[in-house]
Amino acid sequence: MFDKLQFIAAFCQTLFLLFCSIFSLHLVCAVPLSEGLDEIPSQMGSLPGYAIFLISAAAILLLGYVVIGCVCCPNHNIKALSYQNGFTVSRLNENNSLQFENPSEFAIFPPHSTVIDLQPVGLGYPSFEDKVTFEPLPDILPRKLSGQSAACSSRPAHFRALLKNKVSLHDWFDDPNSNFPRDQLQYIRELGCGWFGRVVEGEASHITNTEEKTPVLVKILREEASPSEHLHFLHEVRPYRDLSHPNVVQLLGRCLESDPFLLIMEHSTSDLKTFLIQHENKESFIKNGMPLQMACNIAAGLKCLHENGFTHMDLAAHNCFVCKDFTVKVGDYGISFDQCREDYYCLGGIALPIRWCSPETLQCTEATIETKEITKEANVWAFGIILWEIFELGKLPYEELTNEEVLQKVLIEKTTQLSPPSCEFPVKKEL
């Protein structure tokens, strides 16, 4: 269509120029150029005046029709194509820059169940009898990450208190040969996320003298961690580095020669809370004496911490770990908030284990909650909550209360206590 219009326009222009030439030649032949010159004969002959007027008018009308057709016809066809196919057509503005007539409707994919006709209107393209139908796209939902984004941003309640104290990290770097070779670590799967980064399950070759390959858990610090986060990352595992006790999780090695910092922790089968919840036979569990055995293991590990000047910053069943022989060890891998979200009360970016806190560890006002230093006495309070968890097979303490009600009734008013365990066991009265 565009080629035809161009041909008509060119033909009309030629016709118009020819008419102008004839008209000019007639005028030249009709009027002498100057006095003294011979009269130039006209080879074309003279034309009547009315003929010249009609030819001129016809040429002007034809030229105007062609110009109007060239300007209007393409835009009309393009608009028809745009409306029929449901697409927005781009055009050039006055500055020759590309813009869309309706930018809000511009999309990569057509709407659901849209049928697109591949036969444009009036543009001279070949027609297609078949039509392409786009099936509705499936709903794409974001994968749930078990609250990892919140777990990675929420810090433990004792983080601020540590920054106020002067802590030295020189002993972590005094011996460069103490770093475990990274190439002897093999990662298997990711277990969870903490404020510091990730925790992965893996194997370490020749990290102990008894096994060629030892199952381990590796805490990986984020490479973009701040200096204060480096400080806290190392300081919170200091008890597990310095102590060697059968009921305390041990730090087996570290990789601090370059980023990211790695801390290689002793592996465990499960945390105590998960173990208790998954234990189906409550009666056999109690009759076999396992609750008392586990309670004694935790008490022994906690005693070791206290005798060496350490306190546990988040003592609860979710931070006690069960080994293959059912021995329980006290520790902290830093992912309990990721795995047990219901155990924490999030307040201003701080994850607070409010159901295990003793009243003296929190200073509460109508507008703020300030955490105090975790003392040995606070650990004893939390140990009592753990005993209740063991005999109730992992139930949530004060499960009938919301976090706000626990804060008000247990910690501020001090009018509510845990109800006695529902099960019967030999030393229930003593507890």
Q: Which residues are catalytic?
A: 314
Residues 271/390, Cβ–Cβ less than 8 Å: no
Give alpha helix (H) positions in 265-348: 272-278, 282-287, 290-307, 336-339
270-271: strand order across its sheet: 270-271, 320-322, 328-330
Residues 298/306, Cβ–Cβ less than 8 Å: no
Residues 191/275, Cβ–Cβ less than 8 Å: no
Nearest to 206 by CA among 241, 181, 188, 187: 181
- Half-sphere exposure (Cβ direction) of 357: Cα atoms closer than 13 Å: 31
The first and second tokens of residue 357, run together, are 């806190």
The torsion of the CA quartet 399, 400, 402, 408, rounded to 10 degrees, works out to -110
Amino acid at position 153, single letter: S
3-state secondary structure of 204: strand
Residues 352/371, Cβ–Cβ less than 8 Å: yes
